Structure 1
Amino acid sequence: MIRVLLVDDQSMVRTGFRTILESEDTITVVGEAENGQVAIDRALDLAPDVICMDVQMPVMDGLESTAEIVRRGAAGAVLMLTTFDRDDFLFQALAAGASGFLLKTAEAEQLIDAVTALAGGDGLLSPEVTRRVIERSVRSPDTTASAPPELTLLTDRELEVLHLVARGLSNSEIAAQLFVGEATVKTHVSNLLTKLDIRDRIHVVIFAYENGLMSS
């Protein structure tokens, strides 16, 4: 069962999200919060698998709340939800440690899919948003910096998997390309996330492009 915490200052929005998510037998809403400060306390108390976090709220906004929740290790993944398709919100959310970013105009099925993906350890951005992340990273990579020292911790196979993840391939697609089992790929992905101290696949993409690993 996927345990979800809903964070939004509008009670009607929380009720709508609860109705959508609990239409799935595999998802249950374990709590709600009306602002980012309350969300921190609820996240610590309830340890949800996924937090659906609004961006703009009184007392404390979703960006600041997400950064504190991630710092404390209180939740598995944060899905940012907003009515504003703005790059500043997107990149601030990713910098805060969010694992997904979804517009409130998305279909109900997309919300369910997003929560399911984050609960399974994947990051989630729409293809359009992912392209913007990559374009921004490619425009201004730090070409003067040496290779991140963490890369020396990776095996040759893990480095190969990192490149394939950064290209947007799924575990099954990577398995087919490398002629290995999907369980083996999952192990490699888990290992490289741990060694690089990266939360999820979305941040692997950012790491790879910001460090110029995809230029060759």
Structure 2
Amino acid sequence: MPLRIAVIEDDALTRLTLVAALNQQGFEVSFQSGSASDAVRQFDNASVDVALIDLHLGQGPTGVDLARAFRRKRPGVGLVFLTSFDDPRLLSENLPIFPSNAQYLTKKSVTDISILAKAVNEAALGKARKPVRQPQQGLGALTDGQIEIMRLVAQGLTNSEIAKRRFITEKSVELAVARVARALGLVSSPEQNQRVHIAKVFFKATGGSTREDA
């Protein structure tokens, strides 16, 4: 019997592409959905071995929230996150803890459908490729607080605005921005300051683009 897959992705074209690719690989797509609320409703009435979930599902619950809801209903369901975010902390400061034995794939890393098929099969067997928040160079070396500073800088907030949100001084924000830049290996230049560099790294890591790159 083929593995039964649920596909939850808010972008309709991406969702249809995933469904077609999974069908071609011999999987059975139990249901597809573009929202967390609809996915929970369909999940209750479907047979699912593995849920393939986008991390960012627009306004409302995240893919992690949805995955945790699935696991509460059926502890044995396999989970594969497919996302544009290089580091899940870039999505939200208060992202819930990821369920155990979940696969985490970035969309840009899936250069061949066999990569996704392998992740689905491993998820069905309860295997985890690696801890989702594995310390590493670059973004993975940043603390949660530094990730939040990076997000606020990318949103275009001034040091004063960030200080108010974080309940710290402007001087502390200035030092935090400098530490983020150093951790990312960024250097300031007359043509482009550290904040612009940080914003570009953020947008690239979230699958987006700056106005200049668009």
| TM-score normalized by the length of structure 1 | 0.53
1:155-194 to structure 2, matched below 5 A, reads: none
- What amino acid does structure 2 have at the position aligned with 1:112? A
Match of 1:169 in 2: none
1:93: Cα distance to partner?
A: 6.5
1:43 touches 1:75 (CA, 8 Å); kept in 2? no
Q: 1:22-48 CA distances to partner (integer Å, 9 max, x unpaired)?
A: 1122x1111101111211122221131
Separation in structure 1 between the aligned mates of residue 116 and residue 49 of structure 2, nearest angstrom: 15
- Partner Cα distance (1:40, 1:33) in 2: 9
State the match for 1:39 in structure 2: 39
**Equivalent position amino acid for 1:104 in 2:** K
Aligned CA distance change for structure 1 residues 96 and 119 (closer, same or farther; 3 Å) = closer
In 2: Cα distance, 1:43 partner to 1:75 partner:
14
- The higher radius of gyration belongs to 2
Identify the structure with the greater helix proportion: 1
Partner residue, 2:82: 81
* TM-superposed deviation, 1:76: 1.1
The amino acid across from 1:118 in the alignment is: A
TM-score by length of 2: 0.53
CA contact (8 A) 1:9 1:35 kept: yes
> For residues 15 and 104 of structure 2, what CA distance do their matches in structure 1 show?
17
Q: Match of 2:98, SS?
A: helix
Corresponding residue for residue 116 of structure 2:
111
Distance change (3 Å), C-alpha of 1:93 and 1:109:
farther
Aligned to 1:50: 50
Residue type of the partner of 1:36? A
Offset of residue 103 of structure 1: 0.7
Equivalent residues of 1:64, 1:96 under 8 A apart: no
Letter in structure 2 aligned against 1:100: Q
Q: Assess if the C-alpha contact under 8 Å between 1:70 and 1:97 holds in 2.
A: no
Q: Which runs of 5+ in 2 are unaligned?
A: 141-214
> SS at 1:68's partner residue?
helix
- Match for 2:49: what amino acid? D
User: What is the match of residue 140 of structure 1?
Assistant: none
Unaligned runs of 5+ in 1: 137-216
Cα offset, 1:121, TM superposition: 2.6
Counterpart CA distance in 1 for 2:47 and 2:75 is 6
Count residues in correspondence. 132
Structure 1 residues 43, 98: closer, same or farther in 2, change over 3 A?
A: farther
Identical counterparts, % of pairs? 18
